[in-house]
C-alpha cells in the first residue's frame, strides 16, 4: 500500500540520486537486457510513458535476486547504489500509452522545422563536429555560437553553478563571450553543415560593433548558407562596451543594427532580446519595425552567483576576481515565460514568431513555452549538464503528451495558454478554494503546520496523537502554501465556494 501511495514521490527522489552515467554500468550488467539507464533518464526528464514503454510486461526486476545492476552502480561509491529495481518496478506501473501518429514539424519564419527543438547560441553549438552530432541525434536545428569579426579571448574558469540542498544545478552562471573561432572558420563550419545536413535549420547568431560590421556579417552568413540570422543584442558580459545587452537595452541601437542586418540579407532575421530591463516589448517592437521577422528570448540574466566568505572573491574566480555574468538554467524559466507572455500579449507583437529559451530541460518545459506562443525552443544549459541525449526524451515525451491529449500536431498547442493569463484585477476575488487533505498519504511531519503558522495565516493545528493537520477553516485564506510545501503531495485543491453565500461549505471543509 505504501509503495502505491508514495510512488510518484519515491521514484522522483530515487531517480534524482542517479549520476546519469555515460555508458552506464547498470545497463551493461543487467542480465535481462534492460536499458536501465535509458529508463531512469526518461523518468528524470518527465517522460513517464516513455519509461514504461521500455519495460516488458513481465517486469524482470520482480524477483531478480542477482541485483547485478546495483552492484556496479557508481553511486554506491559515494554512499549507496540507486535502487534501480525499485525504480523500474514503479515505472512499470505507469502503464502503456498508445502513441498515435504525431506531427512535431512546425513552420518558423517561413522555414519548415522537423521539430521545435534547437540548440541555442552557445558553446554547445560552436563547431562542425558538435553540431553534426546533435543533428544526428535528432535536434532540428542550431543557433550557432555568436560570430563576430573578431575571435573572443576567454578567461579561465568561466562557469559556476548555484546549488540548493542535494540539488547540484539549480542555476548556472557563465562569463563566456562569443565564438573563439575566426570568422573564416565559422563560415566554413556553417557551409559544411548546410551541405551535409540540408534539412536541418541553421541559425547564424552574429554580433557587430557598428552598422558596417552588422551588414558585413549578415552578407557572409547568407553566403555561407544559413537559414536564419539571429542578432545577438543581449549577451550581458562582453569585454567591450557597446556590445550585447548594451545594445538590447537601447531601442534606437536595436533599430539601427536591425536595419543594417536587413540591408545585408534577404533571409529571415531574429532579434535576440535581453531580460536585463523591465519592458522587453519596447526593443522588440523597435526590431520588428526595423525589419526583423521574429524574436528570440530570453538571453541570460546579469548576476553574481556567490561570494566566497573566506577569500571574499566571487565566482567563477579568475585569479581572485570575477565580473558580472549571465545566469541561466531551470531557475530562470519563470522569468523567461513572463517575458514571452508579455510580448505575445502585446498588440504589435502578437503575430510575431518567437523562439523561446530560458530554463528548458524537458518536453514539459518546452510545451509550456509553446503554450505561451513560442513556435520553436532553444536549449543550452540542460545540454551542458546532461548532453545532447536529452533530445530523445524531449521528442518522445512531447509525442506522448500530445497523443494522450488528443492532439495530432504540435502546432495545435501554440498560444493555447495565453487567454488564461489576465490582469490581476480580472481574477476572481469573490470566492475561496480551501485545501483538501488526504490523511492516508499524510505522514504527520508537520511541514504544512510550520509553514502556515510562521508564513501564513495560522489556519492549521497539528493533531497531538498523529501529527496530522487539522484545518481551522474560518482562519484559512486559501493561499495553498501548505499544498506547496507538502513533501508527499497529500494536500490538493478542494472545492471553490463563496464564504458569504455558502458558509456551510466552509465548515464542511
- Positions marked catalytic: 235
Q: Where are the beta strands (DSSP E) in 241-373?
A: 269-272, 294-297, 301-303, 325-328, 354-357
- For residue 476, the tally of other CB atoms under 10 A from its CB is 24
- For residue 95, the tally of other CB atoms under 10 A from its CB is 9
Q: CA-based Rg of the chain, rounded to a whole angstrom?
A: 25
Q: What are the cell numbers at 149?
A: 569579426
**Integer Cα distance of 419 and 274 in angstroms:** 25
Residue-by-residue DSSP string for 460-475? EEE-TTT--EEE-TTT
**Integer Cα distance of 42 and 91 in angstroms:** 10
Angle between helices 390-404 and 363-371 (to 10 degrees): 60
**Integer Cα distance of 390 and 395 in angstroms:** 9
Do residues 66 and 31 touch, judged by C-beta distance below 8 A?
Answer: yes
Do residues 481 and 427 touch, judged by C-beta distance below 8 A?
Answer: no
Q: What are the cell numbers at 140?
A: 532540428
**Integer Cα distance of 363 and 305 in angstroms:** 27
Torsions phi, psi of 230, nearest 5?
A: -110, 120
**Integer Cα distance of 395 and 380 in angstroms:** 16
Three-state SS for 200-245 is: CEEEEEECCCCHHHHHHHHHHHHHHCCCEEEEECCCCCCCCCCCCH
Q: Is 41 helix (H, G, I), strand (E, B) or coil?
A: helix
**Integer Cα distance of 389 and 114 in angstroms:** 17
Number of H helices, E strands in the chain: 20, 18
Q: Where are the beta strands (DSSP E) in 344-457?
A: 354-357, 376-379, 432-437
Residue-by-residue DSSP string for 267-284? S-EEEEPPSSSS-THHHH
Instruction: For Cα atoms 260, 265, 267, give the angle at the middle one, nearest 5 degrees.
Output: 125
Q: What are the cell numbers at 214?
A: 552588422
End-to-end CA distance of the chain: 26
Q: What are the cell numbers at 274?
A: 535581453
Of 42, 37, 12, residue with least CA distance to 390: 42
Amino acid at each position: 500500500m505504501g509503495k502505491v501511495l508514495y510512488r510518484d514521490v519515491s521514484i522522483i527522489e530515487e531517480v534524482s540520486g542517479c549520476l546519469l552515467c555515460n555508458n552506464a554500468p547498470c545497463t551493461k550488467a543487467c542480465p535481462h537486457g534492460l536499458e536501465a539507464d535509458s529508463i531512469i533518464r526518461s523518468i528524470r526528464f518527465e517522460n513517464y510513458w516513455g519509461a514504461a514503454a521500455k519495460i516488458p510486461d513481465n517486469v524482470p526486476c520482480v524477483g531478480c535476486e542477482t541485483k547485478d545492476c546495483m552492484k556496479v552502480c557508481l553511486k554506491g561509491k559515494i554512499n549507496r547504489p540507486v535502487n534501480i529495481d525499485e525504480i523500474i518496478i514503479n515505472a512499470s506501473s505507469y502503464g502503456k500509452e498508445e502513441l498515435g501518429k504525431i506531427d512535431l514539424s512546425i513552420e518558423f519564419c517561413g522555414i519548415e522545422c522537423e521539430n521545435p527543438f534547437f540548440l541555442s547560441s552557445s558553446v554547445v553549438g560552436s563547431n562542425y563536429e558538435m553540431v553534426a552530432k546533435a543533428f544526428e541525434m535528432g535536434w532540428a536545428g542550431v543557433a550557432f555560437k555568436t560570430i563576430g569579426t573578431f575571435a573572443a579571448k576567454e578567461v579561465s574558469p568561466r562557469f559556476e553553478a548555484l546549488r540548493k540542498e542535494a540539488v547540484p544545478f539549480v542555476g548556472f552562471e557563465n562569463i563566456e563571450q562569443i565564438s573563439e573561432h575566426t570568422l573564416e572558420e565559422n563560415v566554413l563550419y556553417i557551409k559544411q553543415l548546410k551541405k551535409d545536413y540540408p534539412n536541418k535549420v541553421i541559425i547564424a547568431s552574429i554580433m557587430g560593433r557598428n552598422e558596417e560590421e552588422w551588414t558585413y556579417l549578415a552578407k557572409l552568413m547568407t553566403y555561407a548558407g544559413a537559414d536564419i540570422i539571429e542578432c545577438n543584442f543581449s549577451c550581458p558580459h562582453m569585454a567591450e562596451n557597446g556590445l550585447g545587452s548594451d545594445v538590447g537595452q537601447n531601442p534606437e541601437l536595436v533599430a539601427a543594427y536591425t536595419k543594417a542586418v536587413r540591408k545585408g540579407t534577404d533571409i529571415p532575421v531574429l532579434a535576440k532580446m535581453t531580460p536585463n530591463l523591465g519592458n522587453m516589448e519596447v526593443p522588440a517592437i523597435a526590431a520588428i519595425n526595423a525589419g526583423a521577422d521574429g524574436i528570440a528570448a530570453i538571453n541570460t540574466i546579469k548576476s553574481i552567483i556567490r561570494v566566497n566568505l573566506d577569500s571574499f572573491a566571487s565566482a567563477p574566480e579568475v585569479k581572485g576576481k570575477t565580473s558580472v555574468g549571465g545566469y541561466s538554467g531551470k531557475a530562470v524559466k519563470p522569468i523567461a515565460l513572463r517575458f514571452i507572455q508579455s510580448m505575445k500579449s502585446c498588440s504589435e507583437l502578437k503575430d510575431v514568431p518567437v523562439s523561446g529559451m530560458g530554463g528548458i530541460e524537458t518536453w514539459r518545459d518546452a510545451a509550456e513555452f509553446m503554450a505561451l506562443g513560442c513556435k520553436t525552443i532553444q536549449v543550452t544549459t540542460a545540454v551542458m549538464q546532461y548532453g545532447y541525449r536529452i533530445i530523445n526524451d524531449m521528442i518522445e515525451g512531447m509525442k506522448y503528451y500530445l497523443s494522450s491529449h488528443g492532439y495530432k500536431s504540435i502546432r495545435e498547442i501554440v498560444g493555447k495558454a495565453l487567454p488564461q493569463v489576465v490582469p490581476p484585477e480580472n481574477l476572481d476575488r469573490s470566492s475561496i478554494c480551501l485545501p483538501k487533505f488526504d490523511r492516508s498519504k499524510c505522514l504527520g511531519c508537520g511541514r504544512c503546520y510550520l509553514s502556515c503558522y510562521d508564513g501564513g495565516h495560522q489556519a492549521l493545528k497539528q493533531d497531538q496523537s498523529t501529527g496530522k493537520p487539522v484545518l481551522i477553516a474560518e482562519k484559512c485564506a486559501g493561499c495553498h502554501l501548505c499544498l506547496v510545501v507538502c513533501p508527499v503531495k497529500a494536500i490538493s485543491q478542494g472545492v471553490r465556494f463563496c464564504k458569504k453565500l455558502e458558509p456551510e461549505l466552509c465548515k464542511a471543509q
